[in-house]
Every structure is written in C-alpha cells, then in structure tokens.
Structure 1
C-alpha cells in the first residue's frame, strides 16, 4: 500500500501565468538551500534537469516517470521522495499531465556545507551503535516512501521558504538539519527492513528485526530485544530510536499491522483471525491501532483491495 503521508499541494498556477506548459518553475532561495516548485500542464517526455547540489525531490500532484543513473526508471507518485546526487541528470516523463491534471513537484537543493556539518555533528555527538557504521546519505537508497515526520518537516520548510521574516534563514537551517536527519533515519529503516537477513551477524539491530519478524505472532518485550543486542534496555531504546527515527515499541506495532495487511488480503481470513495471528489480543485495540497507522479501518482496507 502506498504511503498516506503526502506534503500538501501548493496553489496551482493559472494558465495565464504560465511561461510554458512544461516544467514551470518558482524558486525560493535561502542561505543553505534552494526550494524549487515545478508545475507541468502538458504531457511530455525526456525533460532533462540537473542541479549542482544534492537535491531532495518530493511529488505533490500527478505522476512522473523518472529515469536516473543511466538505466533505472520508475513511476514517481505523491507521497514519495527521491534523493538525487549533485550533477546527476534526471530525465523525466509526464505521461498524464494536463491543464485539468497538473503535475506538481518540489525540489530542494541542499548546500554541501550544510550536509557535511550535519553529518559531522551526528557522527561526533550521536554515533551509530555499530562502530564501523557512520551517518551518511546513501544514494543507493534514493526512492523513499514519505513518513509522517518527513512530510511535516517538508511542509514546515515550504512555509518558511515562502514567507518573509527576519529570522527566516536561521529557522530554515534548523528545519533543514531536521529533514536531513529524518531522511537518514528513514533510509536506515528501509535498508534494515529490506536486507536484515544479510546482516544479522554484523548488525545488532538486524538481529532484533529478524527476531521481531519471526515472532510477530507472540508477545515481544524490549528486554528480549535489548538482551539479544547485548545492550542495556535504556541504551537499546535510545539508540534504536536515534538510528531509525521510531521507537522499538512503535516499530513492533508497525510490523504487526504490516503482517495483518498481508493476512487481510486473503478473503478467507477474518479480521478477528488476522488480529490474533499478529500478536494483538484485543480486537478493539487492533481496530484503533490499524486506523492510527493506516488511516483506515481493517474493513475499509479490505474493501479497497477489491
């Protein structure tokens, strides 16, 4: 299921304001970043775009097909972000854009000095649990589903960029650092979920994720996980949340709902059976938890599958 966390679309340009129907661009320049708002009102192919700095792009409306790194191409939809290295050429198709169905995207170009300062701060003051690992933006993990935290931070940065007040650059710098940290946490969480089985002997959190996956139908305690990782309970809790942007308790709950969604895709499995099969022993709580994480009830989720 696609993420429900989408930055709010910006006000659309009127046709009389358009200089061209392909990639109309508004720019808001801050001290350490540049916010670009792109809007397209016409089907187009192979539109090229390059930035001198690393850029975070986020889809607001419509659909693009992105071509990156020479050969990779993929659909790019609202609720998703893409990280593009400096001087990397993006080639973009707009298969569905029209005056009544515009495509809208933001691109945030980040000053390399700000990125390096943020990485240095994290690696010196808040190092990762494994000594051989360091904080960094991993461009191999470039296509992300937005989390609620990333969405909220992007929305704040857009608001700051488009307003005019004395402390604008100072507040933008703090918000930009927060966004970079949340991006790295989201990347770390995605990579550990995608390949935890490859790193259980070298990364203690990979072993914890494997345990959670294998015992999702059971009660799982923080003490069990912290002992598995050879860490004290407080240190495990603190380091897990620092590296992945989510507490281990919330991580377990998200994994339970993810497992429940797979079960609910089978029409022969009842909602009650799915609830107990993923280790939730209270049906009312299961409904509340599912609605909080997915934005809809289990019955609504199942209905949307048809």
Structure 2
C-alpha cells in the first residue's frame, strides 16, 4: 500500500469573496505556466473544464469524481495527481462538497515549449538506458499517487507562484522542470511495477524488478541485480536511480513495506510475521522503516483500517 503524500493546503477564499459555490478559480500566471486554484462548496455534477495546454492537476481537499477520455471515470482524492492532455475535456462531479467540506484542487497548465525543452534536455544529456526508449510524458499513465518528490516540487511551485518574490519566473522554471522530471520518473516506476512481466525482453530493469518481486523474502544484493542487467554495479545504481527517481536499495525497501502493508490488513497476521515474511530480520528496524515510509507505525496502520 503506497503512502499518499499530500501537498500543502492553499488558504480557502473568504466566503464574501466567492463568486459562486461551484468551481471558484484563482489564477497565478507565470512566463511558462499558469497555476489555477479551484474551490467548490456545493455538490455538483458534470462541471466541464478544458485547458489549451497540458495540465497537471493535484487534489488538496475533498473528493471529486473525474470523467476523462470519453468513458473513463474514477474517484480523485487528496494525495493524488492527474495529467490531462491539452484540449482534453474534463467532466467533474463533486459528490461531497459543501460549505463545511469544500473541495480544493490545483491545476498547473504547462506551456508546450517548456515541456519540449525539458524533454530535449533529458534525451540529449541523460538518455534512457534502453536505446529504443526516450523520455516523455506517458498519458496512458495519467492517474498517479504523489511521491514525496512530486509533493515537494508542487509545494515549492505553490509557494513561489503565490508569493511576491524577486526572480519569480526563473524560480518557477527551475521547479517546473524538476516537477516534470519527477513525474516521468514516477510514471516509469509505475509502468515497470505494474507490467514488469511484459517488458523483460525489452527493458533490463524489468528483469531486476521481476527478481525483486520473486525473492522479496530473501536477501537481495545489488551485485545480483546488476549482473541480471548486464551492468557494472556503479552503472546499474546510477541508471536505476536516474530512470525511476529512487535508488535500487530504497526501491527494495519500499517493496518490502508495501507487501507488509498488504499482509497487515489481515488481522490474523502478526506484525512479527509480516516483518520476517518480507525479508527483514530485525523487528525494531522494521518498525523504524515502516514509520519512515508509511508515516505511521505498523500498530497505527492497523488502527487506521478500522
């Protein structure tokens, strides 16, 4: 179970400043992007929204039901982001919004030239390990749980965009490029995690992930993984982290805790059993690692299931 990292909340508009109870909008315009903050304080259905540029949306408060790509619809909750292509119509329901429980979401519209420049920089200076692959925003992987890195970049963009500071556009551009890179790394990680069996013939990291999944209860060494990928140990470590935004060691630890979370949902499984089943032989270390990754102890995690 992946932890949802929630961006900081933006102060709600004062009630006297609201123009409507549905989709009140505050706009902060920069040189290469536009930050929109939307607030809704009334249950509504089929609210339509379209942007001329690609948009990264992130939920801050409440709940939406998003309808995308004709028939696709899903619950949209805090700690999640959705990437929407330019000129794609979003149809949004607000099933729970009211004055005491407002819905708040940001939408960051990214100018096409900024996206193109970032992709060109990555593909030229830091190409993908597999020659047939290139950096790009994968619209098929449009609904993401925020990583800590995505959340941190979003928070900095909110702070810079909403404050009156010198060099705002330059700071926004640097942070925006970081956010785009973090998004692509998160997408690459999700794609390999969800479908690694489909890519073992074309992506050497898929073979590493397959091995990790199959041997999660055992000791897993970087030597073994780098040999599987036909790389030296330093090259494997560097390329893995560049493509997925996380070191192979941290990736293994996150996988261990994710499986432990699944096990702990079964009340018949003890915390010690979950610890040892995922290849961690020190219960004290398991507690510390679980708290670092999930933001709560195993006992607190279990209490939150009730």
TM-score after normalising by structure 2: 0.99
Indicate yes or no: 2:293 matched with 1:293. Answer: yes
Distance 1:168 1:43 in 2: 36
1:205: which partner in 2?
Answer: 205
SS in 2 for 1:131: coil
Shift of 1:197: 0.8
1:62: which partner in 2?
Answer: 62
Q: Which region of structure 1 is more displaced relative to structure 2, 28-37 or 8-17?
A: 8-17
1:80: which partner in 2?
Answer: 80
1:24: which partner in 2?
Answer: 24
1:283: which partner in 2?
Answer: 283
Distance 1:2 1:73 in 2: 21
Shift of 1:166: 2.6
Contact kept in structure 1, 2:264 and 2:270, CA below 8 Å? yes
The ranges of structure 1 where at least 4 consecutive aligned residues each deviate by more than 6 angstroms after the TM superposition are: none
Indicate yes or no: 2:153 matched with 1:153. Answer: yes
SS in 1 for 2:160: helix
- What is the root-mean-square deviation of aligned Cα atoms in Å? 0.8
- The unaligned stretches of length 5 or more in structure 1 are none
Distance 1:121 1:93 in 2: 38
TM-score after normalising by structure 1: 0.99
Alpha carbons of 1:157 and 1:23: their partners in 2 closer, same or farther (altered >3 Å)? same
After superposition, residues 124-143 of structure 1 pair within 5 angstroms as 124-143=124-143
Distance 2:128 2:4 in 1: 29
Contact kept in structure 2, 1:272 and 1:283, CA below 8 Å? yes
Distance 2:216 2:116 in 1: 39
Distance 2:89 2:167 in 1: 34
* Deviations, residues 227-280 of structure 1 (Å, cap 9, x unaligned): 000001111000000000000000000000011112212222211111111110
Distance 2:151 2:272 in 1: 32
Distance 1:29 1:180 in 2: 18
2:232: which partner in 1?
Answer: 232
SS in 2 for 1:273: helix
* Deviations, residues 175-194 of structure 1 (Å, cap 9, x unaligned): 00000000000000011000
SS in 1 for 2:304: helix
Shift of 1:299: 1.3
2:7: which partner in 1?
Answer: 7
Contact kept in structure 2, 1:83 and 1:139, CA below 8 Å? yes
Indicate yes or no: 2:96 matched with 1:96. Answer: yes
Distance 1:23 1:52 in 2: 18
1:50: which partner in 2?
Answer: 50
SS in 2 for 1:305: coil
Indicate yes or no: 2:274 matched with 1:274. Answer: yes
Shift of 1:2: 6.0
Contact kept in structure 1, 2:2 and 2:294, CA below 8 Å? no
Contact kept in structure 2, 1:2 and 1:79, CA below 8 Å? no
Contact kept in structure 1, 2:2 and 2:258, CA below 8 Å? no
SS in 2 for 1:185: helix
Distance 2:237 2:14 in 1: 50
Distance 1:175 1:276 in 2: 40
2:119: which partner in 1?
Answer: 119
1:196: which partner in 2?
Answer: 196
